[in-house]
Every structure is written in C-alpha cells, then in structure tokens.
C-alpha cells in the first residue's frame, strides 16, 4: 500500500502533467496591431482559467501581426513532464559550465556576456569561430551543452512552432551543410538551426533589434523570470524558468526583471547570421561593406542580449 507521502507525491506529479498538457493543448493566439513606442505596455500571455483545471494555467503563446498575419513571437514551455525533468537536469549542468567559462572570461564579466560559435560582420576576410570560443578553454564544453540542450527542446517543440517559421528552419539545414563544408570540422559542434549563441545573466532595458540575423531566433530562459517588451506592439510577455522563445528579433525589443529582488536569471539566445543562411563567402562580405558606405547604416548593438 502506498504511504500518504507517496500518494501526495503522485498527486503532485499528476497535477504537473495535467498543467503541462493544458499549456500545450490550449494555446493562446493573439493578433497585434503595430502601435509604436508607448508610455505604458500591457502584459499578455498571463495564466488564465482552463477547463478541467482548478487553478489558472500559463499556456503556450503565439503573437501574430494583425495586418500581415506573420508570426512575431512564440513562448513555449516543456511539452511533457519527462521533458521538463530532463530540461531541469540539463539546466543545472549548463549553469555549472557557464559559471566555469566566466572565470576565464575577462570582457563584460559583470554581465556574463559571451558569444560562442561563428560570428561574421561585413568586411571579414574569412569566417572563424568567435574570439570568446577560441580564447576560453571552457567555451567549447559550454557550446556543446547549448547544442545538446537546444536539440533536447527543439526536436519536441518543432510541431508547435508556427508553420511559417517551420519552413524557414527547414531551409537552414542546407545552409548549415554548406557552412560545415566551407569550414570543415570547425562547425561540427553546431546544430542545424543556428550558428551562434550568446550567453548572458542580465537584462537589456535599452531597446534594440538584430536585423542581420535570419528570422526566427531562439531564446532559452533559466532561473528567475524576465519580461520581454515588444516596443512596436506595445506588449510585455513574461518568461519563466525553462521557457523557450522563438521570435523575430528585427522588431524592437528589450527585457527587464518583473521584480528587482529576483536573482539567478541567466539565458542564451541562438541565431543564424543572414550571411551564413544566404551562403555568402567572406569575399562577398567585403564587397558588401564597400557598397554599404553609400547607404544609410543599419543600427545594431553587437551582442545585445534579450
């Protein structure tokens, strides 16, 4: 006969499974008008009543542009209790590797800010791993962990990703195959859907956008909650521990903490630079730099985190 303690534990697991299934089976889809910068922003995607559940449930969320019906932002939680437990275990390993890598990282240490994988700007004579990757003996284990954690999540989240973005992601496999051939074994540690990731442990209240990245990008949030603000649409969205975001980073966005007393938030964003997606060899970038001198510059904060 199970003890009272075992019964209580089994009930908690049953409730957890029910909430996870409800988040997946009753997603919210919102159509948003572009409104520009606002003095006040309203929070969307809050927990709400779901049939059969005693307490409000935070469900998966998809935001679409009301005019174009194109996806803007998706927030997805673990799709099963097994995945949630596995992701929790993975997150603990990732935090240990991240903290170890920070001890050998001198730039921006107060922000815990690290670029890993391949980086490219116009005018680069060749493609290389980022300096944060090559100058830190603990960087490759962290990058390898990011790939494994990404694979753990994205393989099961894929059916929940908006079909437009699924189509984008499917075409990236060919681009990554080209990059692997171009760079040979240097790119072996990277997955099919992104070429670069940025680790950080703070928020960025300054508004920014990333127009040189192929849409969509990913954000993996850990530890404490954070709020993502989409300035063009006048909304805030809360992310919790283990939430994954798929979003269009060419829209102006920023992040802030819902409670300044909360500690322990860290995250990594994962993305593919457009030059890799478009299979541009480095000499094309040099010409693009010359051409861009007569054009209006595009604003980008290099390494801005979310």
Tokens of 266: 């860290």
Is the pLDDT at 196 greater than 60, yes or no? Answer: yes
pLDDT digits (tens, 9 = 90+) for 93-145: 999 999 999 876 555 454 567 888 887 655 555 677 777 887 888 889 999 99
**Distance of alpha carbon 203 from alpha carbon 206, whole angstroms:** 9
Least confident of 27-36, 70-79, 85-94, 289-298: 289-298
User: Which pLDDT does position 179 carry in this prediction?
Assistant: 83
> How confident is the model at residue 204, as a pLDDT?
66
pLDDT at 32: 96
Asked whether residue 45 carries a pLDDT value surpassing 80, the answer given is yes
Lowest mean per-residue pLDDT among 206-220, 262-276, 288-302: 288-302
- How confident is the prediction for the chain on average, in pLDDT? 83
* pLDDT 10s digits, 162-172: 999 999 999 99
- The 8-class DSSP code of residue 298 comes to P
pLDDT at 87: 94
| Domains observed in the chain | 4-292 (3.60.130.30)
Distance CA 151, CA 156 (A): 9
Question: Is 144 exposed, middle or buried, given 0-12, 13-18 or 19+ CB atoms closer than 10 A?
Answer: middle
pLDDT of 296 over the 70 cut: no
pLDDT value at position 286? 42
pLDDT score recorded for residue 289: 39
pLDDT of residue 216 exceeding 90, the answer is: yes
Share of residues in the chain with pLDDT > 70 (%)? 83
How far is Cα 105 from Cα 194, in angstroms, rounded to an integer? 23
Single out the residue of 211, 215, 243, 213 nearest to residue 228, CA to CA: 243
Statement: residue 65 has pLDDT above 50? yes
Residue 244 to residue 97: CA distance in whole angstroms? 20
Chain segment 225-283, per-residue pLDDT in tens: 999 999 999 999 999 999 999 999 888 888 888 887 778 899 999 999 888 888 887 75
For strand 196-200 and strand 128-129, is the pairing parallel, antiparallel, or unpaired? unpaired
- 158 upstream amide cis, omega within 30 of 0: no
């Amino acid at each position: 006969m199970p003890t009272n303690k075992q019964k209580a534990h089994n009930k908690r697991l049953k409730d957890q499974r029910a909430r996870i299934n409800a988040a997946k089976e009753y997603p919210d889809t919102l159509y948003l008008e572009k409104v520009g910068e606002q003095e006040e922003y309203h929070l969307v995607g809050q927990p709400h009543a779901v049939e059969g559940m005693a307490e409000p449930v935070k469900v998966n969320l998809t935001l679409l542009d009301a005019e174009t019906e194109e996806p803007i932002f998706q927030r997805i939680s673990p799709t099963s209790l097994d995945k949630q437990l596995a992701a929790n275990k993975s997150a603990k390993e990732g935090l240990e590797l991240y903290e170890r890598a920070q001890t050998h990282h001198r730039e921006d240490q107060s922000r815990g800010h690290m670029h890993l994988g391949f980086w490219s700007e116009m005018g680069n004579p060749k493609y290389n791993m980022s300096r944060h990757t090559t100058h830190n003996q603990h960087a490759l284990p962290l990058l390898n962990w990011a790939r494994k954690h990404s694979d753990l999540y994205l393989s099961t989240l894929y059916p929940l990703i908006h079909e437009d973005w699924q189509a984008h992601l499917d075409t990236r496999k060919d681009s990554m195959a080209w990059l692997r051939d171009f760079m040979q074994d240097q790119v072996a540690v990277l997955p099919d859907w992104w070429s670069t990731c940025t680790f950080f442990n703070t928020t960025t209240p300054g508004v920014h956008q990333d127009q040189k990245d192929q849409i969509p990008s990913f954000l993996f949030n850990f530890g404490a909650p954070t709020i993502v603000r989409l300035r063009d649409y006048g909304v805030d969205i809360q992310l919790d521990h283990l939430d994954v975001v798929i979003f269009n980073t060419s829209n102006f966005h920023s992040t802030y903490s819902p409670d300044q007393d909360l500690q322990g938030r860290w995250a990594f964003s994962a993305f593919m630079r457009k030059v890799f997606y478009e299979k541009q060899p480095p000499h094309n970038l040099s010409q693009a730099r010359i051409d861009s001198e007569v054009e209006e510059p595009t604003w980008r904060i290099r390494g801005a985190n979310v």
